[in-house]
Amino acid sequence: MHKFKDNNEQLNKMLEQGKAMQAFELFYAEHVTMQENETEPRIGKDFNREQCGSFVEVFPDLKLKILSVAYGENISIQEVMFDYANEQGEKIIYPEVAVRHWENGLVVKEKFYYAS
């Protein structure tokens, strides 16, 4: 198995365990770009760390489950189900697809697809 596949499995496992920020530090490149649907990409690990950290702080009870994973050449695609309470206390459950591009065992680009 390619190193990025092993790393992707570890990353997904950490996400399911609620260790999103630790996974981010281990598996994302300094020059990573992250994008939500067709919004402008967020560039750089520092900027994305702030964005991810803010999300985790706002929704501390966030749970996610990896439903399926597919692999291509230096790419992984995850089908994810999120479960959390929003700021009004309403239960939110929604699916998302995350497409990760890998170089040297690290995520260099990640794009999230979901209904908005």
Provide the pLDDT for residue 88.
87
Higher pLDDT, 86 or 56: 86
Confidence (pLDDT) at 58: 67
pLDDT digit string (tens) for 19-76?
988 999 999 999 999 999 999 999 999 999 988 766 767 677 889 999 999 999 999 9
Residue ranges of domains in the chain, CATH in brackets: 3-113 (3.10.450.50)
Question: What is the SS3 assignment for the chain?
Answer: CCHHHHHHHHHHHHHHCCCHHHHHHHHEEEEEEEEECCCCCEECHHHHHHHHHHHHHHCCCCEEEEEEEEEECCEEEEEEEEEEECCCCCEEEEEEEEEEEEECCEEEEEEEECCC
- Across the chain, mean pLDDT equals 92
For the question of whether the overall pTM of this predicted structure is more than 0.95, the answer is no
